[in-house]
Chains A and B, each alone.
Chain A
Amino acid sequence: MFVAWRDLRFAKGRFALMGAVITLITLLVGLLSALSAGLARQNISAITGLPADRIAFAAPGPGRSPSYGDSTVTARQWRRWAEVPGVTRAEPLGITSTKATAGDRSAPVSAFGVRAGSRLAPDGGAIHDRTAVLSAAAAAGLGGLAPGDTFALAGRRLTVAAVAGDASFSHTPVIWTALSTWASVAPPGAAGTAAGPDAGATATVIALDTTAGADVAAADRAIGTRTVTKDGSLSAIGSYASENGSLQLMRGFLFAISALVVGAFFTVWTIQRAGDIAVLKALGASTAHLLKDALGQAAALLVVGTLLGTGIAAALGALVVPDTVPFLLTPATVLAPAAVMILLGALGAALSVRRITSVDPLTALGSAR
Chain B
Amino acid sequence: MSLDLSDVTLTYPDGDDRLTALDHVTLHVPRGTLTAVAGPSGSGKSSLLAVAATLVTPDAGTVSVDGVTTTGLSRAELTGLRRRTIGIVFQQPHLLPSLTALEQLQLMASIDGRSPAGARGRALELLAAVGLADRAGRRPHQLSGGQRQRVGIARALMNEPTLLLVDEPTSALDHERGAAVVDLITRLTRERGTATVLVTHDRTHLRAADRIVEVDDGRLGDPPSGSGTSVGYRPQGGVTATMSG
List residues of chain A with CB under 8 Å of any chain B CB: 2-3, 6-7, 9-11, 275-276, 279-287, 289, 361-362, 364-367, 369
Q: Please state if A10 and B97 are interface contacts (CB–CB under 8 Å).
A: yes
Given known A-B contacts A11-B98, A284-B80, A365 and B50 have beta carbons under 8 A apart: yes
Q: Please state if B111 and A365 are interface contacts (CB–CB under 8 Å).
A: no
Query: Given the complex of chains A and B, what is the CA–CA distance between A276 and B92 in angstroms?
Result: 12
Q: Please state if B91 and A361 are interface contacts (CB–CB under 8 Å).
A: no
The interface size of chain B toward A, counting residues with CB under 8 Å, comes to 36
Q: Please state if B46 and A365 are interface contacts (CB–CB under 8 Å).
A: yes
Query: Given the complex of chains A and B, what is the CA–CA distance between A289 and B50 in angstroms?
Result: 22
Q: A16 CB to closest chain B CB, in angstroms?
A: 15
Q: Which residues of B contact A362 (CB under 8 A)?
A: 50, 55-56
Query: Given the complex of chains A and B, what is the CA–CA distance between A69 and B167 in angstroms?
Result: 81
- Is the C-beta of B84 less than 8 angstroms from some C-beta in chain A? yes
List residues of chain B with CB under 8 Å of any chain A CB: 46, 49-50, 53, 55-56, 76, 79-80, 82-84, 86, 88, 90-92, 94, 96-99, 103, 106-108, 110-112, 116, 139, 155, 159, 167-168, 171
Q: Please state if A285 and B167 are interface contacts (CB–CB under 8 Å).
A: no
Query: Given the complex of chains A and B, what is the CA–CA distance between A282 and B54 in angstroms?
Result: 9
Q: Please state if A6 and B99 are interface contacts (CB–CB under 8 Å).
A: yes
Given known A-B contacts A3-B98, A3-B107, A366 and B116 have beta carbons under 8 A apart: no
Q: Which residues of A contact B50 (CB under 8 A)?
A: 362, 365
Q: Please state if A289 and B111 are interface contacts (CB–CB under 8 Å).
A: yes
Q: B99 CB to closest chain A CB, in angstroms?
A: 6
Q: A118 CB to closest chain B CB, in angstroms?
A: 68
Q: Please state if B46 and A282 are interface contacts (CB–CB under 8 Å).
A: no
Q: Please state if A284 and B82 are interface contacts (CB–CB under 8 Å).
A: yes
Query: Given the complex of chains A and B, what is the CA–CA distance between A280 and B46 in angstroms?
Result: 18
Q: Which residues of B contact A289 (CB under 8 A)?
A: 111
Q: Please state if A286 and B76 are interface contacts (CB–CB under 8 Å).
A: yes
Q: Please state if B111 and A286 are interface contacts (CB–CB under 8 Å).
A: yes
Q: Please give me the residue from chain A that is nearest to B199 by CB atom.
A: A365
New A-B pairs, 16, CB < 8 Å, besides A361-B55, A362-B56: A2-B116, A3-B96, A3-B107, A9-B98, A280-B107, A282-B90, A284-B111, A287-B79, A362-B50, A365-B46, A365-B49, A365-B55, A365-B91, A367-B91, A367-B171, A369-B92
Given known A-B contacts A281-B79, A283-B108, A3 and B90 have beta carbons under 8 A apart: no
Q: Please give me the residue from chain A that is nearest to B113 by CB atom.
A: A289
Query: Given the complex of chains A and B, what is the CA–CA distance between A367 and B80 in angstroms?
Result: 25
Residue picked from A283, A285, A367, most chain B C-beta under 10 Å: A283
Q: A359 CB to closest chain B CB, in angstroms?
A: 12
Q: Which residues of B contact A2 (CB under 8 A)?
A: 103, 106-107, 110, 116
Q: List 19 A-B contacts (CB under 8 A).
A: A3-B99, A3-B107, A7-B98, A10-B139, A276-B94, A279-B96, A282-B90, A283-B155, A284-B111, A284-B112, A285-B111, A287-B79, A364-B88, A365-B49, A365-B55, A365-B88, A365-B91, A365-B167, A367-B91
Query: Given the complex of chains A and B, what is the CA–CA distance between A280 and B110 in angstroms?
Result: 11
Q: Which residues of A contact B111 (CB under 8 A)?
A: 280, 283-286, 289
Query: Given the complex of chains A and B, what is the CA–CA distance between A118 and B167 in angstroms?
Result: 88
Residue picked from B80, B106, B110, most chain A C-beta under 10 Å: B110
Query: Given the complex of chains A and B, what is the CA–CA distance between A261 and B118 in angstroms?
Result: 38
